[in-house]
Amino acid sequence: MSFGVNRFAAVVVGLAVMAVSAACGSESAPDYGKYPAQRIAGDYDSQPSRARGILAESVRLGERLVFASDVDPDLKAGRGGGVLADYTGLNYTLIPGAQVAAANAHGVQGAFGVTAADKPGADAKKQLSVSLLEFPDDQAAAAASLDMERADFGLAPDNAPVLVDAFPTAWAHWRPGIPALSSTFAWKSLVIRVSAQLPDPDLGALVNMVTVAYQKQLELLDSFTPAAAADLAALRLDPDGLLPRLVKTGDSTPDRQNFAVYGVRAYSLLGADPAGDFAATSGAGLVSMAMSHNNQLFRLRDAAAAHDFTAYLTSRDSDANYVPLSGVSGATACAQATQQVPTQLTAYRYRCFVVHDRFVVRVYSATESDVRQLAAAESAVLADRR
């Protein structure tokens, strides 16, 4: 286990006390409120769906995306990203609009990208964005790479082409005197898009960063087989059946934020310290996670890992100064935030962890009565073996 005993001993003891308190509380029947207390399977994976396939393939790409800190150790601060495509095509999260339009003309069937920097705030001096875009075939990817370069190149009259010597088929350009370089490179049916920024307009250093990014990215793609266009609509979002283990609080429409399943690497890339989070969570035994609206399920390698992982998650919620909330039926640990974190919604005021076997579920709510009902229902859903 990668977590230090001293760091988490107090948290683990506290969780144990809360669990006993919950188990020895009132003998009355749990109050589930409006929530179902049994698994509801849903039909999100039962019929062919191109929209679902694009989401599933995008997450697969996320499992192969490079950590920026592997390119440059200074680039540890995650600055956003994730799934970049849906049934309408590529979106504008990380990629300029002109390149989005150029890519969409060739039929994007999956995309995942992230940005990282040397500092989390506006003081960042170094930054790197890497995105993987998937197309129906190799020819479409090659054409998309060229068209994306042309579209971006044409946005400024002083743009100049740049040769990336180690990757002669890559397209790249920069504006002389501006410390940034943009590049695209077609590999099989994928386009790797890289955008690098440094403190000084050193073209050699910029080319080197892009070169290392391509090298590291291709190492991760070595054994990756992109989905055939004909198979895209058959891809399953949730082959291990994780989502029905979450209490149903909304519809079951596949969505990158509200109804999806992620592997450990793709999930870690969404955080503030992607490589650090990946090392911690994978070392702790995290296998995958599912999100359904305001709730998340974490699947661990075994029950012991699930217990320790709950302590780990609890220790990371310090920004809101959570204080324990006792007597919640079915919950291992619950808490109330004593202050509102500016980056969080009001719905995160109350939080409970429900643990069953190798699964940990974290549920949130804006009110105490609702989080109690939600935790009780989640406990029943996890125990339902149907």
pLDDT (tens digit, 9 = 90+) per residue, 178-213? 999 999 999 999 999 999 999 999 999 999 999 999
Same domain membership, residue 78 and residue 35: no
What pLDDT digit, counting tens, does each position of 69-102 carry? 999 999 999 999 999 999 999 998 899 999 999 9
Taking residue 157's Cβ as centre, other Cβ atoms within 10 Å add up to 6
Domain count, the chain: 2
The amino acid sitting at 159 is N
Q: Percent of the chain, pLDDT > 90? A: 84
Q: What is the mean pLDDT of the chain?
A: 91
Backbone phi, psi, residue 166, to 5°:
-70, -15
Q: Residues 6 or more apart from 288 whose CB is under 8 A from it? A: 240, 242, 261, 262, 263, 264, 267, 299
Same domain membership, residue 252 and residue 320: yes
Same domain membership, residue 15 and residue 150: no
Q: What is the mean pLDDT of residues 253-277?
A: 96
Look at residue 125 and give its three-state secondary structure: coil
Task: Evaluate whether 178 touches 205 at the Cβ level (below 8 Å).
Answer: no
Domain boundary among 169, 191, 221: 221
Domain boundary among 190, 221, 252: 221
Residue 2 clears pLDDT 50, i.e. is over it = no
Q: Residues 6 or more apart from 30 whose CB is under 8 A from it? A: 37, 329, 330, 376, 377, 379, 380
What pLDDT digit, counting tens, does each position of 136-165 carry? 999 999 999 999 999 999 999 999 999 999
**148 falls within a domain:** yes
* Dist. CA 182–CA 195, nearest whole Å: 4
Question: What is the CATH number for 57?
Answer: 3.40.1000.70
Q: What is the mean pLDDT of residues 37-56?
A: 95
Same domain membership, residue 215 and residue 87: yes
Domain boundary among 189, 221, 253: 221
Residue 316 clears pLDDT 50, i.e. is over it = yes
Q: What is the mean pLDDT of residues 231-256?
A: 96
Same domain membership, residue 250 and residue 198: no
Tokens of 259: 């109804």
Res. 42 pLDDT band, cuts 50 70 90? confident
Res. 322 pLDDT band, cuts 50 70 90? confident
Q: Percent of the chain, pLDDT > 70? A: 90
Which DSSP symbol is given to 328? -
Q: What is the mean pLDDT of residues 275-294?
A: 96
What pLDDT digit, counting tens, does each position of 350-375 carry? 999 999 999 999 999 999 999 999 99
Same domain membership, residue 254 and residue 139: no
**What pLDDT is recorded for position 343?**
60
Same domain membership, residue 262 and residue 211: no
CB-side exposure of 52: number of CA atoms within 13 Å?
Answer: 21
**What pLDDT is recorded for position 341?**
66
The residue behind tokens 């790197």 is 128
314 or 47: which carries more pLDDT confidence? 47
Same domain membership, residue 60 and residue 199: yes
Residue span of the structural domain in which 166 resides: 53-221
**What pLDDT is recorded for position 345?**
62
* Dist. CA 237–CA 275, nearest whole Å: 24
